[in-house]
Structure 1
Amino acid sequence: MHSSTLIHRLLRGILLPLLLCLWLLPQARATHIVGGELDLQYVSGDMYRLTLNLYFDAVNGQPGALDPSMVASIFEKGSNRRMVNLTLPQLSNTLVSYTSPACSTPDLVTRRIVYSSNITLTAQQYANAAGYYVAVERCCRNNGISNIVNPGGAAQTFYLEFPPVTRNGQALRNSTPRIFPPLSDYACRGELFYYNFGGQDVDGDSLVYDLVTPLNGHSTATFPNPGFADPAPYQPINWLPGLSTINQIPGAPTLSIGRLTGRLEVRPTQLGLFVFGIRCTEYRKGVRLGEARRDFQLKVINCPTNARPKVLMQLPGSTQAYQVGRDTLRLTPGNNRCVTLRFTDPDPTSALTLSLSPVNFNATLPTLSVLQGTVHAPGLPDTVTSRLCFPNCFNTKGKVYLLDVIVADNGCSLPKRDTVRVAFTSVPDPNSAPRLRSTAVLPIRAKVGDLITFDLVATDPENDPLTLEMTGKGFTPGNLGATLTLGAAGNQLNGRFSWRVDCRAVDKPLYEFEFTAAASPCNDRQATSLVIPVQIEYANKPPLLTTSFAPPIAADSITIVRRPVGGVFEATLTGTDADNDALALTAAGNGFEMSAVGMTFTPRNGAGSASATFRWVGDCEAVRRNGLEVTFTLQETTCRPQPRTRTVRFEVEAPSEQPFLPPNIITPYQVDGKNDYFTLDNAQANLPLDFCDSRFADIQIFSRWGNRVFTTNNRAFRWDGGGLPAGVYFYLIEFTDGKKYKGTVTIAN
């Protein structure tokens, strides 16, 4: 035995003496359970809601048996490991309604007691592939049950199975099927009883139904409401001799349930109160997920004799009655589409209801002039007459349709019915397609800016309601700005087409507008279409751009123009366009503002031609930037512009450098007036000229021992030796951009 189960049973042994004292109280032993089921619904995230529906005998059950809460126990299948005990507080207590309130009986009243609470099912705790089950144990069932042993001492185990919350590494969200509605009616001995126990599943899983023996479990009359459920297995109730799972209620036939429909049927042969059990198993893609069980009771009583009502159908234009299986009603254009129905019932004061149910089609049903009536009552006839009329447009398209005409009485517990299955074919009245014409004169050729308008007129020979719509072959008219304005005039529908052609239209040479006039008599759409093509005439020659700049060496290459510092860069630009489109000349510096460096550009724009002048006095900014690039653009105003550009690079030329040949000897002490000074500011020395950021900074002259004997920042210096003794001296010349020149100069005697 599992250790937790052993502990629970020991606890019960401790509590049992106290509970035996309570056994003396009649409410503790009260019988009251009609049946019920458990329900587990997914909420969100890891949250689920567990609900217990307990059906309570409101006539024989004692109020003391109404529990304010119940405890549900969840176990792991296979191991029977207890996962949790969950308290379910009572949320509602309502009466179960009869299918037909007029057939209610005072000795059969059932209440639905709902207990419910949220529960968290995490993937860490509830991932066992075997799944889980929930159980609630409670005693006792009704004393008056007729098909089981010791009904007053029989308990019920409410039981539910559900899958793990993960499968194959993915979240498995599942809600159990909801079996509905609870049974509140009784059955009549010798009469067929049927009831729909079919359920719904919010996940769309497949549901399969079968009969099962109700579970008794471990609770007893002396211990009716344990604090929690024991793990499985749960003992079933004991059937009386001759009864079993497949023969739960004596009948001919016995109790059965539709495997896929959940429809419950039995023709009981004995009076009494009979408990039965059903199981609903759910499958997803062929894999079993879990099951829900419901126990319930069916009371069988003697009912007053209720004769079956009768419905007769008379063929059109004839006094003969329609013969099921032999006659086929054939409805053709121009002939009577109505038949006469007569329905009656031999029972006194019988309220009858007439209805229609299609068998093999889902078209609009014919109409009934009378849907209900009462017969064999004082002042009322013994037969009710109704007219069944098929619409003129009903079309079976050559097939034989089957229609059930059903009359039902108001007998208890369930109405009796009579059905006439009518086979019929129907050919609708002929209907012509709509007519559509336009005032458009073809061919339509248009240019950008043109306005196209024409009218459309739609009519229908039978004056059926019309629609008129516009579509485009391979395009949406509204995206081009085309509109169709509708208006009605008498029995015709008018449309005004309007389209101001703009640049959106030049992507295609041809647009085919399709106009459709449609009518839908009898929901059978009939349409007439008219296609009107519009040809778009659009051509564009690129503009021409000429400049006074030298032509580029190659296409798309940059033209380079050089001037010395202070040199003037001037040019004229001219643009022309054969299509006479509006032209505009612009200029933009690549990475700089033209005005910031003193560049001017003066355009004169116009239709078909444009001109501009450019001027700039070169300065050192071009040197610092290693040249300045300007892009000149000729732009045309049209649908598909083809701009023309020209990029020019302006460079300021540095002075040409000659070999630096400074004098290397001076003779200041010879009185001959020659070579008296060391100077570089002459043509013979070729000291690089000052240029932008490369300017003469200074000169320093040093003795052979490194002593500086002369320095100046005057480019036009003249050094006469300063009275220094004859010998070799060293000079260092530096420019502002870091260039340096070194050499020697000798003072000779």
Structure 2
Amino acid sequence: MHRLLPSVFLVLLLLLGAAVPGRATHIVGGELDLQYQSGSRYRINLNLYFDAVYGNPGALDNELTISIFEKGTDRRMQNLSLPLVANTNVNYSNIACTLPVLSTRRIQYSNLIELPASTYTNPTGYYAAVERCCRNNSIRNIRTPGNAGQTYYLEFPAVVRNGRPFINSTPRIFPPLSDYACRGDLFYYDFGGQDIDGDSLVYELSTPLNGHSTSGMPKPNQAEPQPYLPIQWQPGLSVLNQIPGDPALTVDRATGRLQVRPNQLGLFVFGIKCSEYRNGEKISEVRRDFQLQVIDCPRNTPPAMSLFVTGNSKPYEPGKDVLKLEPGSSRCVTLRFTDPDPVSSLSLSLRPVNFSTPLPSFSVLQGTVRTPGAPDTLVSQLCFGSCFDTKGKVYLLDVIVADNGCSLPKRDTVRLAFIGVPDPNAPPLVATTAGPGLPLRARIGDLITFQVTGQDPDTDPVTLEMRGRGFAPASVGAALVQNSTGPQVSGTFTWRVPCPTTDKFLYEFEFAAAANPCSERQASPPLLVPIQIDYTNAPPSLALALADSVTVITRQLGEPFRMTMEGLDTDIDLLTLTATAGGLDLAAAGMRFTAQNGAGKASGVLEWTPNCAVAAQDKVEVTFRLQETTCRPVPKTRTLRFAVVKPAAQPFLPANIFTPNNDQNHDFFELPNLPPDFCDSRLANIKIFSRWGNLVYQTTNRTFKWDGGGLPAGVYFLLIEFTDKSYKGTVTIAP
């Protein structure tokens, strides 16, 4: 490790003396960011960088207030309290000039905030601000730094655009500055941020904002709207000359990389503005302030490194030699690296030039030289894996050794050109115990099981695979379970043969063993195991105790009918015999079906007592179905029609005259040839009226005999009523 020169101590003492705070000077820098959560909810974060050496502990706030304003009008939208959520140390690089005068803590404040779409609609956007005082007294590039505050500032767009939600998170994760700069040496640092939305980021220097806070009012209750007064540069300095040097401080617009070769000692504050663009339109802005310590550094000589290929005593010559990594040859390179500076800590790293991964590995990654008990030169092995394949191209790899010199490491780089050819690799092998008699033959319901084995000649781990030709094995219930792992594996195939859902009775299974040497799949040639399902089925027969030509059964109302039937199956499958009536259930039709089912034989008896329900439908169809229990059943059916015979309708001509004179000849009026009763057509009433409409006789008895009731001779009116019709006429009582 390098020692500081006496002049360096003098400068540091001057800096320390100037840094003793008289007030609550503590702010190193910081920034805001706004992150989308869900719905209308966002999280707003504040990173405040705190001087842990000279900062007044009483200036550490447990909470700060952030204010939201509408751009254009500066209308205050809301204030929100940001509680302290974390307090961590910023780790500075392990460099030789590390000093106790600079120690920074990252103070994080955070809270959830609602930005409802009904409110945050202004197309000009919004801005947020937190105001706090004061900055370090020892800052030398601005006026009265101990009285200068900081305004943490960001801009964000409306959450609705063109009537649709507009979701955006501002850039974040700017790495805190954690190094020193040396006067007269080029200093650089990656200050770039990240954006989860993939928007474009543009960086530029900006003047840090002072705002409205003062040493007399270091923590306002709320931020005031813009404009925020900027800090005042010392004479000769400006936004483009914040840290004097050759060149002065610059930032890369695309990457955020800072660069400066400072020519003055001291502590310098600087500002960076990061603008976010989407589709060429600026949608947000984040500002960050930070400070950089410039010191006098001791002289640092770069380290040196040589590469040696196995079997060659001469060092590798970049631009001339090409390393060939071939099967049977060494895949390692010897590195010898050293540094003329005393107590120098060295570290190795790699940077691929025209490829990405994988990268080789070091046996020794870092070490110290030229300290008591330590060697002058360190040795490491850089070894490539046996899988490295450049596919005939020359790959370039920068091998870098860096010291821990102040303020940035000095490096030596050797560009290694190499061609990699991987070790040969044989494909794995697969076998089964299913043979030799193929195809395997099985019946429906059989359980087929056999073993599948795989092995790899190169001892690569093997995985068993199964496929079906024209079908997915899982869809038919087949499974292959691998029982072991490694270069030799076994698995168990099981399949309970199902009834095929199609006419496919040959199933061809393919088995393979696969390995992934060098992350590239290698598989054995597929091994085919066909399985033939043996299945035959003779349809059952159904016989009724009727001639085949009989299709209609007719009976009188109430006349019993009984019929037997029998089903037979030569395959002795379980038979089931059923009967169903169309439009009625069997009981409603006056029917009862009794079946005796069994293997290979089933019988049934149908009993029918004809009723009016069948008569009302004219005909009822009954289907007898014989179903076999097998893989692909072929049912047998027979349909019969059942009808009730209706009585023949005779001409109805009622007598219309009688002589109640006791001469034994037509002494009574009667109706022996009334239409018969049938289901819904039944005799309801017989009525006789006088010529003046008076009811003189009434009966419901179809076998009645009326003697005239002593009424005088004459013509009377007759009304005969059935439930579905009526008859009218006259009857004459003759003397």
Please confirm whether the aligned pair reaches a TM-score higher than 0.5, indicating the same fold: yes
- Identity of counterpart residues, as a percentage? 62
The separation in 2 between residues aligned to 1:27 and 1:256, in whole angstroms, is 30
On the 8 A contact 2:21/2:136 being kept in 1, the answer is no
The one-letter amino acid of 2:577's match is L
The one-letter amino acid of 2:511's match is F
**Which of 281, 286, 292 is the matching residue for 2:275?**
281
The separation in 2 between residues aligned to 1:541 and 1:402, in whole angstroms, is 76
Q: Secondary structure at the match of 2:518?
A: helix
Say if 1:324 and 1:249 are closer, same or farther in 2 by CA, change over 3 A: farther
1:623 deviates by: 3.7
> In the alignment, is residue 267 of structure 1 matched against residue 261 of structure 2?
yes
The separation in 2 between residues aligned to 1:655 and 1:723, in whole angstroms, is 37
1:341 deviates by: 0.7
The separation in 2 between residues aligned to 1:572 and 1:594, in whole angstroms, is 16
The separation in 2 between residues aligned to 1:613 and 1:230, in whole angstroms, is 100
For residue 530 of structure 2, what is the aligned residue in structure 1? Answer: 533
Instruction: Please list, as runs of the form range in 1=range in 2, the aligned pairs for 1:681-720 lying within 5 A after superposition.
Output: 682=672, 685=673, 687-720=674-707
The one-letter amino acid of 1:279's match is K
For residue 748 of structure 1, what is the aligned residue in structure 2? Answer: 734
> In the alignment, is residue 482 of structure 1 matched against residue 478 of structure 2?
yes
Say if 1:232 and 1:561 are closer, same or farther in 2 by CA, change over 3 A: farther
1:271 deviates by: 1.2
For residue 461 of structure 2, what is the aligned residue in structure 1? Answer: 465
Deviates more, 1:212-221 or 1:128-137: 212-221
1:382 deviates by: 0.6
For residue 661 of structure 1, what is the aligned residue in structure 2? Answer: 653
Say if 1:331 and 1:539 are closer, same or farther in 2 by CA, change over 3 A: same
For residue 342 of structure 2, what is the aligned residue in structure 1? Answer: 348
Say if 1:580 and 1:103 are closer, same or farther in 2 by CA, change over 3 A: farther
1:328 deviates by: 1.7
On the 8 A contact 2:265/2:296 being kept in 1, the answer is yes
On the 8 A contact 1:679/1:719 being kept in 2, the answer is yes
On the 8 A contact 1:515/1:530 being kept in 2, the answer is yes
On the 8 A contact 1:71/1:87 being kept in 2, the answer is yes
1:399 deviates by: 2.0
Q: Secondary structure at the match of 2:627?
A: strand
1:455 deviates by: 5.0
**Which of 531, 535, 553 is the matching residue for 1:561?**
553
Instruction: Please list, as runs of the form range in 1=range in 2, the aligned pairs for 1:140-159 lying within 5 A after superposition.
Output: 140-159=134-153
Deviations 1:634-671 (A, max 9, x none): 212222223333444433233222232111122213x5
1:383 deviates by: 0.8
Deviates more, 1:382-391 or 1:698-707: 698-707
Say if 1:322 and 1:258 are closer, same or farther in 2 by CA, change over 3 A: farther
On the 8 A contact 1:29/1:224 being kept in 2, the answer is no
The separation in 2 between residues aligned to 1:237 and 1:587, in whole angstroms, is 101
For residue 106 of structure 2, what is the aligned residue in structure 1? Answer: 112
The separation in 2 between residues aligned to 1:454 and 1:51, in whole angstroms, is 63
The one-letter amino acid of 2:689's match is F
Deviations 1:612-649 (A, max 9, x none): 33221212343466654433212122222233334444
Say if 1:540 and 1:414 are closer, same or farther in 2 by CA, change over 3 A: farther
Instruction: Please list, as runs of the form range in 1=range in 2, the aligned pairs for 1:268-667 lying within 5 A after superposition.
Output: 268-438=262-432, 439-444=435-440, 446-449=442-445, 452=448, 456-484=452-480, 486=482, 492-495=488-491, 497-504=493-500, 506-528=502-524, 529-538=526-535, 542-548=539-545, 560-575=552-567, 581-590=573-582, 593-594=585-586, 599-605=591-597, 610-623=602-615, 628-667=620-659
Deviates more, 1:216-225 or 1:524-533: 216-225
The one-letter amino acid of 2:520's match is D
Q: Secondary structure at the match of 1:406?
A: strand
> In the alignment, is residue 35 of structure 1 matched against residue 29 of structure 2?
yes
Deviates more, 1:348-357 or 1:27-36: 27-36
The one-letter amino acid of 2:530's match is P
For residue 667 of structure 2, what is the aligned residue in structure 1? Answer: 676
Q: Secondary structure at the match of 1:677?
A: coil
The separation in 2 between residues aligned to 1:622 and 1:102, in whole angstroms, is 111
Q: Structure 2 stretches of 5 or more lacking a match?
A: 1-19
Say if 1:507 and 1:79 are closer, same or farther in 2 by CA, change over 3 A: farther
1:581 deviates by: 4.5
On the 8 A contact 2:97/2:297 being kept in 1, the answer is no
The separation in 1 between residues aligned to 2:365 and 2:310, in whole angstroms, is 20
The separation in 1 between residues aligned to 2:250 and 2:532, in whole angstroms, is 74
Say if 1:598 and 1:648 are closer, same or farther in 2 by CA, change over 3 A: same
Q: TM-score, normalised by structure 1?
A: 0.86
The one-letter amino acid of 1:345's match is D
Say if 1:507 and 1:141 are closer, same or farther in 2 by CA, change over 3 A: farther
1:69 deviates by: 4.1
The one-letter amino acid of 1:534's match is I
1:323 deviates by: 2.2
Q: TM-score, normalised by structure 2?
A: 0.88
Deviates more, 1:198-207 or 1:337-346: 198-207
The one-letter amino acid of 2:470's match is G
> In the alignment, is residue 729 of structure 1 matched against residue 716 of structure 2?
yes
On the 8 A contact 1:27/1:65 being kept in 2, the answer is no
On the 8 A contact 1:27/1:64 being kept in 2, the answer is no
1:693 deviates by: 4.1
Q: Secondary structure at the match of 2:614?
A: helix
On the 8 A contact 1:573/1:612 being kept in 2, the answer is yes
The separation in 2 between residues aligned to 1:506 and 1:537, in whole angstroms, is 14
On the 8 A contact 1:28/1:64 being kept in 2, the answer is no
Higher relative contact order (CA 8 A, sep 6+): 2
Q: Secondary structure at the match of 1:419?
A: strand
> In the alignment, is residue 178 of structure 1 matched against residue 172 of structure 2?
yes
Q: Secondary structure at the match of 2:709?
A: coil
On the 8 A contact 2:443/2:535 being kept in 1, the answer is yes
Q: Secondary structure at the match of 2:708?
A: coil
Q: Secondary structure at the match of 1:479?
A: helix
Say if 1:355 and 1:220 are closer, same or farther in 2 by CA, change over 3 A: same
**Which of 711, 725, 733 is the matching residue for 1:739?**
725
The separation in 1 between residues aligned to 2:509 and 2:575, in whole angstroms, is 35
Deviates more, 1:104-113 or 1:219-228: 219-228
The one-letter amino acid of 2:267's match is L
Say if 1:90 and 1:364 are closer, same or farther in 2 by CA, change over 3 A: closer
C-alpha RMSD of matched pairs (Å): 3.2
For residue 133 of structure 1, what is the aligned residue in structure 2? Answer: 127
Deviates more, 1:646-655 or 1:155-164: 646-655
Deviations 1:252-293 (A, max 9, x none): 443333444433333323212111112222334554331211
On the 8 A contact 1:440/1:455 being kept in 2, the answer is no
Deviates more, 1:561-570 or 1:96-105: 96-105
1:591 deviates by: 5.9
Say if 1:190 and 1:537 are closer, same or farther in 2 by CA, change over 3 A: farther
Say if 1:453 and 1:45 are closer, same or farther in 2 by CA, change over 3 A: closer
Deviates more, 1:104-113 or 1:369-378: 104-113
1:317 deviates by: 0.9
The separation in 2 between residues aligned to 1:600 and 1:278, in whole angstroms, is 97
The separation in 2 between residues aligned to 1:603 and 1:32, in whole angstroms, is 100
On the 8 A contact 1:666/1:677 being kept in 2, the answer is yes
1:203 deviates by: 3.7
Q: Secondary structure at the match of 1:370?
A: coil
Q: Secondary structure at the match of 2:474?
A: helix
Say if 1:86 and 1:478 are closer, same or farther in 2 by CA, change over 3 A: closer
